[in-house]
C-alpha cells in the first residue's frame, strides 16, 4: 500500500475545509457496543462478584472460580520481579524519580487569608480512593502505571486499586513491578467494562472508588463515560496525535520517525507536519518512504498516514500559530530554530516539546511531565493529568460580626431581586 498523506497549502482555496475534514473523526458510537456496555454495568451492579467472575472468564482469558483469585498476591509480585532484567528495573526506577520530581511541583496546599477578623481560604484534601485502569492484551504498559499512579500518590491518595486484564504474570511483569514500585495497594486481574463497573460501584469483594483514571479500548471508554457522575474520571481519550513544526535546518529522518512514533499507535492516530519549507516537506516524505519498510507496524503506520496524516505548507509563523491553536494537538513538537517565537503564539496544546533533541517519545516514558493528555482538540479547555486531578478543594469562610453586617445588606438586596425571601431573611438575621 502506497503511503499518501494529505498535502495542503494555506494558499489553497478550500484550506480550512480540508483541514477540518481531516481532523474530524467519526464519533458515531456503535449502538451494539454501547448496549453491551450498559448491560455489563447493570449486571455488575445487580449481581456483584458472581457476574464479575463470569465476565472475567469470558473476556479476560483468565479462568477463575473464586473471586479472591483476581488479586495479585505478594508471591506473584516477587515472581514478576524475577521476570524482568536489571536494565528494565533500573529504567523504571529512573523514570519514577523524574516523574515524582516533576509531580511534586504540582501539589497544592490549603491556604487562608485573614482580614477584619474574617477568614477566607481553601482546604485542599486528597481523593480517598482511586482506581487505575491499565490495558494489557498482548503488551505490558508500565508507563501507564507510572503516569497515573505517581501523581495520585503525591496528592496523598490513601488507597489505589489497579485493574489490568493480566492472564499470566510473565507477560505483564513490567506493569506489576511498576505498580509495586509506585505503591499501588491492590492489583486486580480484570479488564474491560466489567472492571470499570466493579470499581465504580463496588462489589462484596471490591471497594468502590471515588475516581477512575487510565486508558482503554472502546468498551472501557464507554464504560467510563457511563459511570461518570457516580465517580470521577480523567477524560474520554481519543486517538493519539502529534503536530511537528519544522524548518529546513531539521533532520528529515528524525521528523519521519517522530511521526511514525504516533502513527504506529493505531489506524486513527494522526501525524501532522507543518512547515514553510516545501523542500523540507518533500525531504520528510522521502524519509517516510525510505524508513517505512523497516517498521514492524508499517501497515498501521500506512493506514494512519493515509487516513489522517497531513503535510501543511505555510507562509508565516503567524499562520502556524493559528493552525496549531485550531487543531489543539495532544502532542506538539516545535523543532524549528525559532521555537521560542513560535511558543509565544501557542495557546492550545497538551504537551509542547521544544527543539530537535526533545522528541515526544521522551514524554511518553521518562521526561517527567505526564503523558496522559487531552486529545481530539480538547486541549482548548483541558490539561494534562496531574497531582491536582487527585486533590479536592473546599472553600473556607469564617466571618466576623462586622463583616456579616456588611454582607447582610448586599445579600438581602440581591436575594430580593431574585425573589428568594428565605435567602433575604437568613441574611437579614445577621444584621444585628
Over the stretch 8-24, which tens digit does the pLDDT of each residue have? 999 998 999 999 889 88
The confidence band for 26, taking pLDDT boundaries of 50, 70 and 90, is: low
Q: Which of 264, 330, 333, 360 is an active site residue?
A: 330
The confidence band for 94, taking pLDDT boundaries of 50, 70 and 90, is: very high
Over the stretch 228-287, which tens digit does the pLDDT of each residue have? 999 999 988 888 999 999 999 999 999 999 999 999 998 999 999 999 999 999 999 999
pLDDT at 30: 78
Q: For the chain, list the domains and their CATH numbers.
A: 6-25+239-367 (3.40.50.1980), 71-233 (3.40.50.1980), 399-428 (no CATH)
pLDDT at 138: 61
- Mean residue pLDDT across the chain: 95
pLDDT at 404 over 70: yes
pLDDT at 202 over 80: yes
pLDDT at 1: 76
The confidence band for 61, taking pLDDT boundaries of 50, 70 and 90, is: confident
How large is the average pLDDT for residues 116-143? 92
pLDDT at 137: 67
Give me 138's grid cell: 498482548
pLDDT at 66: 87
289 is catalytic: no
How large is the average pLDDT for residues 296-301? 96
pLDDT at 63: 85
122 is catalytic: no
Q: Which of 172, 331, 356, 360 is an active site residue?
A: 331
Q: How far apart are CA 149 and CA 162, in angstroms?
A: 9
The confidence band for 385, taking pLDDT boundaries of 50, 70 and 90, is: very high
Amino acid at each position: 500500500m502506497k503511503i499518501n498523506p494529505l498535502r495542503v497549502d494555506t494558499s489553497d482555496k478550500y484550506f480550512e475545509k480540508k483541514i477540518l475534514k481531516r481532523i474530524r473523526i467519526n464519533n458515531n458510537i456503535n449502538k451494539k457496543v454501547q448496549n453491551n456496555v450498559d448491560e455489563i454495568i447493570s449486571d455488575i451492579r445487580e449481581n456483584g462478584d458472581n457476574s464479575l467472575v463470569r465476565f472475567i472468564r469470558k473476556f479476560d482469558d483468565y479462568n477463575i472460580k473464586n473471586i479472591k483469585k483476581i488479586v495479585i498476591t505478594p508471591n506473584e509480585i516477587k515472581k514478576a520481579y524475577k521476570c524482568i532484567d536489571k536494565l528494565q528495573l533500573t529504567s523504571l526506577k529512573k523514570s519514577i524519580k523524574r516523574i515524582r520530581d516533576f509531580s511534586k511541583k504540582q501539589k497544592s496546599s490549603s491556604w487562608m487569608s485573614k482580614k477584619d477578623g474574617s477568614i477566607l481560604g481553601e482546604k485542599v484534601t486528597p481523593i480517598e480512593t482511586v482506581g487505575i485502569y491499565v490495558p494489557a492484551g498482548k503488551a505490558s504498559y508500565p508507563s501507564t502505571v507510572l503516569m497515573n499512579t505517581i501523581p495520585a500518590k503525591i496528592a496523598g491518595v490513601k488507597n489505589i486499586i489497579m485493574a489490568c486484564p493480566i492472564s499470566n504474570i510473565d507477560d505483564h511483569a513490567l506493569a506489576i513491578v511498576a505498580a509495586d514500585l509506585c505503591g499501588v495497594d491492590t492489583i486486580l486481574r480484570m479488564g474491560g467494562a466489567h472492571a470499570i463497573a466493579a470499581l465504580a460501584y463496588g462489589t462484596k469483594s471490591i471497594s468502590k472508588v471515588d475516581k477512575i483514571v487510565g486508558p482503554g479500548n472502546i468498551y472501557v471508554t464507554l464504560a467510563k463515560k457511563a459511570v461518570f457522575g457516580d465517580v470521577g474520571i480523567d477524560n474520554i481519550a481519543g486517538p493519539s496525535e502529534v503536530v511537528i513544526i519544522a524548518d529546513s535546518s531539521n533532520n528529515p529522518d528524525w521528523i519521519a520517525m517522530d511521526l511514525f512514533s504516533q502513527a504506529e499507535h493505531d489506524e486513527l492516530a494522526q501525524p501532522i507536519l507543518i512547515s514553510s519549507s516545501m523542500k523540507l516537506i518533500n525531504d520528510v516524505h522521502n524519509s517516510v518512504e525510505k524508513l517505512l519498510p523497516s517498521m514492524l507496524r508499517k501497515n498501521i503506520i500506512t493506514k494512519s498516514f493515509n487516513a489522517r496524516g497531513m503535510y501543511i505548507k505555510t507562509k508565516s509563523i503567524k499562520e502556524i500559530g493559528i493552525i496549531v491553536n485550531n487543531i489543539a494537538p495532544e502532542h506538539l513538537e516545535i523543532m524549528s530554530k525559532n521555537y521560542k517565537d513560535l511558543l509565544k503564539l501557542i495557546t492550545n496544546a497538551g504537551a509542547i516539546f521544544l527543539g530537535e533533541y526533545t522528541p515526544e517519545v521522551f514524554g511518553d516514558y521518562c521526561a517527567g511531565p505526564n503523558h496522559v493528555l487531552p486529545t481530539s482538540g480538547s486541549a482548548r479547555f483541558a490539561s494534562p493529568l496531574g497531582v491536582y486531578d487527585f486533590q479536592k478543594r473546599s472553600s473556607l469562610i469564617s466571618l466576623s460580626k462586622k463583616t456579616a453586617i456588611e454582607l447582610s445588606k448586599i445579600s438581602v438586596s440581591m436575594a430580593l431581586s431574585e425573589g428568594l425571601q428565605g435567602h433575604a431573611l437568613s441574611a437579614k438575621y445577621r444584621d444585628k
